[in-house]
Each structure stands twice: as C-alpha cells, then as structure tokens.
Structure 1
Amino acid sequence: MHDQHRDFYQGLRKKVVQWASSGEGQDNRWTEYILIVPDLFHLLWKLTLDPEVPRKTKVKLGIALAYFISPIDLIPEGILGPLGYTDDLVITALVLNMMINETDPYLVQKHWAGEEDILILVKRIIETADQMIGGGLVNKIKAILKLSGK
C-alpha cells in the first residue's frame, strides 16, 4: 500500500474505532457497518492492484476508492463524522456486488481482511442500503455506477 493510502487507511481506522467507542457510536444502529469501512477501503485498494481483475472492473473500483478519499460527498463525513461513511459503504458494496457477479468471487475473497464472509457482508449491506442512506440516494448511486460501466 502506498504511504498516502496507508495513512488514509490508518487515520480512517482510528477515527472509526474512536467513534464506535463513544456514546454516539455505541448507541447507533449502523456502528457494526461503520466499523468495517476501513477494511472495505483496504479491499478496494488491493483489488485495483490485482492483475487478475479486469480493467473495466478496475474503473468501477477506482471510482469507489476515489469517492472514499474525496472531500466532496453525498453524505459528508466532515459534518456527520463516521456516520458520513454510510454512502461510501453502500457505493463499495454495490461495486463489489457488480464485480462478484461479473468475475470470479474468489478475487474479492482472497483480498478480504475482515472476519465476516465478504460475499454475505456485501449482500447484507445492499439489503439495508435503503434504510441506511435512503432509497432515492441508492437509486442515484446505482444509476451513476451503471453509467461508469459503459
């Protein structure tokens, strides 16, 4: 991992863990999902570097990765704190789901550093996405990702 991405990952992990330990994080229904955000960032990074991942798929992975790093966000972390990563989480799950459906799921599994089965986790995130960030926003994200694949 390049230094700037390692720094982002480590900073993200620290921020998320501190928030999860706070009163706000302990009482939030999305905390279990927010805690996996750093691992999902790491997964995106590893997949973009994997020579087995098709170029078309890497474009989508790169979009999701850039969205994590970008200060311009649909749900801004700067205002909401780690809860602002819910949109990043949904975008990542949608991109990973596309990848799982279009390539060998093993490519995703081999780079996953988290504890839960990544295939089940992606499905769970997508199933709760409408509740997490709102159905209208989920549909907009899906439309944007669909356009990026052309």
Structure 2
Amino acid sequence: MDFYDWLKQDIAAYEGRHDDLIYLAPEFYRLLTNLLDDARLPGRLRPLVSCAIAYFILPADVIPEELYGPYGYVDDIFLCAFVADQVREQVGMDEILAENWEGEAAIIPLVQEVLAKEQDLIGDERERILRYTGCDRLLSAGEPVPASSA
C-alpha cells in the first residue's frame, strides 16, 4: 500500500470539522507528487513541492495527526494549497495545477477556498508551518512571495 492509499484509508471514516476538505487530503497529496513528475515545474519550485510532500508524511507536524486524528491534516492541506498557489503564480498558468489534479472539484477555486479559510483552518500557525518546513527560506531565497489570500 502506498502513502496515497494509506491516506485514503486513514481519513475514510472521519466525520467532523472540515470533513469536506479532510476527504480531499489524498487528492492534495497526489497533486504534489504529480507536480514533481511534470516537466513544466521549474527546478527552483521543486524543493518547495518536496517540502509539502514531506510535511504530509511527518507524524509530528504543527497540527499532528497522532494527536488530532484525521483532523490533523488541515495544516497539511493548507500547506499544499499554499504551495499550489505559489506554483500557479510563479509558473504563470492555471493549467499546471488543473492537469495534475485528479480530484472532482475544480482545483483553482478549491485552492482559493482553502487559502481564504486559513484562519479557521490553522489559526495563527501559518508562519510556524512555513518555518517548520523551511518553505519560508525557500520562498525568500529568490522569487517574490505573493501576498497571502487570508
């Protein structure tokens, strides 16, 4: 069983806060792994995508699944949406996300929805998540970071 399948199994019975987004965790994870296989993803963005993949796998992240169960994926989903938005902005095309997304809902509005719900999903943990993953340093190392949607 690969991580995608394990993730689907882990969230299958979840009923609770933000379950509509929690159920999409496997699809967000798959988006990230698909992006790494896409030749259009610039080399400078690959470490950022890799950080978001690693964050999904870490058991003791900012909102740990070990403590919160499947609800703990809200920070992973936020980071994925944040990174996906960075990729879309820096590559300059929506298609890179749309063509790598296997979910049923349209990915661009979904990413925007997650970013708009930042405060409700993760509270004031954004900077802590970015610092924990090193994404803050990756983003400040070159390309300008677009303003937060929240």
CA deviations 1:53-96 (Å, max 9, x no partner) are: 10111111000001111223111101111000011011111101
1:44-123, aligned counterparts within 5 Å?
44-103=32-91, 104-123=93-112
For 1:133, which of 122, 130, 134 is the aligned residue? 122
Q: How far is 1:142 from its partner?
A: 4.7
Unaligned residue ranges in structure 2 (runs of 5+): 142-150
Task: Please tell me whether the aligned partners of residues 78 and 118 of structure 2 are also in contact (alpha carbons under 8 angstroms).
Answer: yes
Q: How far is 1:114 from its partner?
A: 0.6
Q: How far is 1:131 from its partner?
A: 0.8
Q: How far is 1:132 from its partner?
A: 1.1
> TM-score w.r.t. structure 2 length?
0.85
Q: Determine the C-alpha separation between the residues in 2 that align with 1:140 and 1:148.
A: 14
Q: How far is 1:146 from its partner?
A: 3.2
Q: How far is 1:50 from its partner?
A: 1.2
Q: Determine the C-alpha separation between the residues in 2 that align with 1:11 and 1:142.
A: 25
Alignment RMSD, CA only? 1.4
1:147 maps to 2:142:
no
For 1:12, which of 7, 23, 45 is the aligned residue? 7
- Structure 2 counterpart SS, 1:112: coil
Task: Please tell me whether the aligned partners of residues 48 and 58 of structure 1 are also in contact (alpha carbons under 8 angstroms).
Answer: yes
Counting helix residues as a fraction of each chain, which structure ranks higher?
A: 1
Letter of the 1:145 partner, please give it: C
Match in the other structure for 2:144:
none
Q: Determine the C-alpha separation between the residues in 2 that align with 1:142 and 1:96.
A: 14
Unaligned residue ranges in structure 1 (runs of 5+): 1-5, 20-24
Q: Determine the C-alpha separation between the residues in 1 that align with 2:70 and 2:9.
A: 11
CA deviations 1:13-39 (Å, max 9, x no partner) are: 0111122xxxxx1xx230000000000
Letter of the 1:81 partner, please give it: G
